[in-house]
Chains A and B, each alone.
Chain A
C-alpha cells in the first residue's frame, strides 16, 4: 500500500517535470511569440514577485474567500433542499425532472440576471457562484436518497425512526459518498465562477488581475495567475479527498 502511493507520487512529480520541460522547450524554440507565451522561468519570476510584493497574494485570498463562501452557501442549500426533495418519493417524482432540465443551463447564463438584480457587487458574484455550484450537490443528494437500500427504509419504519432521524441517520450517511463527490465538483465550479464573476463585475481577485494582465500584455503575470488558480484548485480538491477518505472509512473495509 505505502509503496504504491509513493510510486504514484513519484510518477505524478515526473509528469509535472516533463510538462515543465516541454513548456520550456516550446518557448525556447520561440514557436509562439514570447509576448503572448512566457517560459517557465519568467512565469516563476512573476510568481515570486507577485507573492512577495503582496498584490498577487491578496488577490488570491480574495478569490479563495469568494470561492469558499459561494461553495459553502451552495453546499448547505444544495444538501438541505436535496434532503427535503429526496426523502419523499412523491417529491422526487415531481421535482427531480424539472431540476434535471434546469441543470445543464450554464451558470454564466445566470450572470446577466444576477447583475440586473444585484448590480456589479460582491453579492452578485457570490450568488452566481452559489447558484452554479448548487446543482451537482442538490442532484447528488436527491439521487443518493433515491439510491438508498429500500430495506433500510423498512428497518427505519419498524424501529419507529422519525422522518428527521431517517434523514440524519440513514439517508444522509448512505448518500454521503455521492454527496462528497459532488462537493468536490462544486468546489471546482465555485473556483471557475469566482474567476468569471470577478472578470465580469471587476471585483478584486485573481480573475480581475488575470484580465488586467492580459489586456496590458503582461503575459508572465497572466501565467502566474493561472498557475495559482491551478494550485488553488488542486489543494482544494486534495483537502476534500482527504476529508472524504476519513468520512468514508467504513467504505474502505467494504472493498
Chain B
C-alpha cells in the first residue's frame, strides 16, 4: 500500500513552505529516521524524516518549489512491511469524516481562522504623518524591523547589548535576533541559561551600572518568573533614589496568544505592566512602529517593557528608509481616519480593527482606527479628540476583559469625554477564561474582526 507523504506543518503558525531540497529520489529504500527532504519556513530550515519503511515511489513536488501548502502530497512511499503504519487519512477525508459525525471540520476552521488573522491588502495603516515627503518605503517584516532596530542602536552605542534564551547561536527562538551574533559577537549577544529571574536581575543591575541592556524573554509568559525585577528593581529604583539611580533597560519579546499553545503560553500582559508607575510600556503593531519605537525604547533613560506578538512577526509593512528613524514614545496613531465611530486598539488587535473597519465601510459606517502603540503613558489626547469627532467608541483588545487597557480607556472616556458620548463605550476582548487549546474553543475565546464589527454596530445603533 502506498503511503502519501504530505507537506508537514513544522510550527504552530506555518501554512506553507519551500521544498528546498530532496535528499532521496524515486526508488530509494528508506527507513524510519532517514532524512527525506529539507523544508524551509520563514523561520528556519527543517529536516523532514521518514517514519515508515519502504521505497520512495514518486516525487510529486520538485525541489525548489516555493509556497507549498501544508498537507500537499509531496511524495509517496511504497510500504514493504505489512505492519507499517498507514499514513492517517488525507486531510479532506478527515474533514468529511468529521462532518459526517456532526463534528466541526477542524481543518476548515483553522484555515478560516488563519484568513481572519491576515489583514486585507487594502487595510494597511496610513503612513506616519511625521515623515518627510518623498521618503522611500521598504517592505519589511515586523521580525526584521525589530532586528534592524537593535542592530542600528548597537552600531551607534556600544553600551547596548542583547541577552536572553537562544538569542545568539540559535538566532532567537522566533528568529528576531537573526544575524546579531555574527555582527556583534558573543560579548554583546549573549545566550543565557533558562533563568529568567536571574538574567532579568543581571540586566537590571547592568543598566544601573551604566549599560543599555535589551533583555529578550522567549515569550512574556516566562517573564512572570522575572516580574519581581521588572517591577521592584527596574521600575521603582529611579523614584526611590530620588532620581539618582536609573535603570535604562528594555525587556522585550512576544506577548499575547500565539496559535494553540494553551493557557500557560498565551497571555497578554499589557495591562499588568501598564498599571505600574515607573515603567514605559510599548506594544506596536506594524513594522515601522516596531522599528521606530524599539529604537526609542533603547535610547530611553527609563525601563521599557516592549510587547511584541508572534503572529505579527511574519507580516510585511512599509518601513521608511531614513538613517535615524525614531518614533515618539507615548503617541498614538490614527491608522485609519473616519467620522462615525472610533475603534481604539493596539498590537494584533489593530489588524482586526482595520479589517472590521473595511467591513463596516461597506455598510456605510465610517470607522476611525487608533493604534495606541504605547500603553504607558497612554495618549489620552488622541483618543479624546477622536471621541469628540465621532462621539462613539469601541476598544478592541486581544486580552482578558477585566482590569484591561479597555477598562482604562473606558474610564478615561467617562472622566474626560462624557459630554461627547452618544453611546456607551464598549469593549471587545478575549473571553474571560484561560485560553483553551482545542481549535474551536480557542477561536471562540479570541477577538476577531467580526466580533469588533458587531460591537461597533451596537454603539452605532445599527
Are A and B associated in one complex? no
**Contact surface of B with A, Cβ cutoff 8 Å:** none
**Contact surface of A with B, Cβ cutoff 8 Å:** none
